[in-house]
Amino acid sequence: MSFFKSLNVDNSKVVVVNSFYDDESESIFKRMAQENDAAFISVPNNGYGAGNNRGIEYALSNYSFRYLIVSNADILIDKLSIEILEKEGEAIIAPKIINLNNKNQNPSTPFTPSLITWKIWKLLYEKEMRRLYWGMFVISRFKKLLFYLISPWHKRIFSAHGAFVIFPVKVLKQLIPIYNEQMFLFVEEEHLGMLAKKKGVKTVYAPDIIIRHKEDGSMTVASVNQFDRMRQSFLVFYNYWFHN
């Protein structure tokens, strides 16, 4: 409900996509959508990418619009306007996303990884090298810090964080389907980065747009289930982009 209260953009329409869990939760989300004049669709729980693809299809079939935003439910919008969006041109727009630990989650990946980097990640997942995984994560963090140093002059990035991604409609139509539905919850940002690169679409960091994400950004990859899902999604990603 707090998302709707924070949304202050004229002529906007929200499409609530419920990845079905049970009848009780569906009833709650449907009532919330009705109370806030939002559209509501229910889809099978096939993951982040599948749910977002269905929502995008619904929006394209039912509305005329200039921008489409893929947003998590646990989002508060601090600053967003059409005027700011127009400054970014025809590109995927990655706003400043601040989580509960006051860390900026954008960019997801600032610089385009090399093939060697992708191969290292593949080896880490295949061999379950979890300690080395964290080493790569630390390196990724240093790359982000470097990006923040140069971001006043260089705003182009490889991939945007998936919690709140903005697409001009022309870009959206150029990229659809946006997400690979064989992935479940992880690596979707990297897939979108590769898709945009293939299609010649820029992704830009836009810190003048400020979003609050009500989660801490932490991951427990020591969890067998979570690590296995990350590995499965990454291997789908790798085989799609480098074995086709």
Residue 228: its pLDDT value, please? 82
For the chain, the domains span: 66-242
- At 94 the three-state DSSP class reads strand
Q: What are phi and psi of 156, to 5 degrees?
A: -75, 135
Task: Tell the burial category of 213 from Cβ atoms under 10 Å away from its Cβ (0-12, 13-18, 19+).
Answer: buried
Query: Residues 166-180: pLDDT tens digits?
Result: 999 999 999 999 999
Residue 183: its pLDDT value, please? 85
Place of tokens 């480098």: 242
Residue 224: its pLDDT value, please? 44
- At 22 the three-state DSSP class reads coil
Exposed e or buried b per residue across 6-42, where buried means at least 16 C-beta atoms within 10 angstroms of its C-beta: ebeeeeeebbbbbbeeeeeeeeebbebbeeeebbbbe
- Angstrom distance (rounded) from CA 180 to CA 236: 9
Residue 46: its pLDDT value, please? 87
Residue 223: its pLDDT value, please? 45
CATH class belonging to 66-242: alpha beta
**Structural tokens at position 49:** 């990418």
Positions in the chain whose pLDDT score sits under 50: 218-224
Residue 144: its pLDDT value, please? 92
Residue 174: its pLDDT value, please? 96
Residue 221: its pLDDT value, please? 45
Residue whose C-alpha is closest to residue 50's, from 233, 202, 239, 238: 233
**pTM of this structure:** 0.91
- Angstrom distance (rounded) from CA 63 to CA 65: 6
